[in-house]
Amino acid sequence: MSSKYLAARLLSRKNRLTREEKDVILARVLAATAPRRARRWPALVFALAGAAAAVIAIPWAIRDRSAESSFASRGDGAAMFDLACAGQRTHTCQLGQTLVFDLQATRYRYFAAFARRDDGTVIWYFPDAAPGTSLDLRDRTPGGVLGISLDAAHGAGHYQVYGIYSAAPLSREDIKSRFRPGARDLGRETSIATHELVVL
């Protein structure tokens, strides 16, 4: 007999279990016989991974065409693209995020892009180096998506992004010599589409 409960038994003049002893025994029995909980963390990890994949994949699967009204397509073809940051179709991005070009189906084979900040600074996306030429869309764009990291060289500010579609590859010099702000194209077999972009 436990000394903890001895005084209660002596005072009651009964050699039986007290109410408190019965409650303690019941709690032990219930704890010992309760079904063990399955570990929840593997299910939680898989659920979070699935949710993250859905957040990234759904915007690309849906391809909301109502957003197309936010760009100006110029030229003789239906050459278009959209912009996204952090998996969201938006025209406002943070430094360090990846700017995604979502290229729409077009009859043009090549794509070049650059951005001009309000202060006149030009950032080249494609071609990414001076000796290069515009990207061959048949070889370089799985799913019509291209990504660029918005690093410190970009700088915060308001940009006009120009996407130049063409039937033949173009170098930066070709584009510079033929580009005129407000022009619908760079000449025959080319088309320009534009977007506003704000980098914070």
**pLDDT tens column, 39-81:** 566 666 666 666 666 556 555 444 443 333 333 344 445 568 8
Task: Please compute, for residue 68, the number of CA atoms within 13 A of its CA located in the half-sphere on the CB side.
Answer: 11
What is the per-residue pLDDT for 62?
47
Q: Answer for the pair 190, 164: CB distance below 8 angstroms, yes or no.
A: yes
What is the per-residue pLDDT for 17?
65
Q: Given phi > 0 = left and psi -120 to 50 = alpha, else beta, which region is 143? A: left
Q: Which residue type sits at 112?
A: A
Q: Could you tell me the pLDDT band of residue 23, with boundaries at 50, 70 and 90?
A: low
What is the per-residue pLDDT for 135?
85
Q: Which residue has the higher pLDDT, 41 or 132?
A: 132
Please enumerate in sequence order all residues whose Cβ is within 8 A of that of 189, keeping only pairs 6 or more positions apart, or say none: 108, 166, 167, 168
Please enumerate in sequence order all residues whose Cβ is within 8 A of that of 178, keeping only pairs 6 or more positions apart, or say none: 186, 187
Task: Characterize the bridge pairing of strands 110-117 and 122-126.
Answer: antiparallel
pLDDT in tens, 164-199: 899 999 989 988 888 888 888 888 888 888 889 888
Q: Is the pTM above the cut of 0.85?
A: no
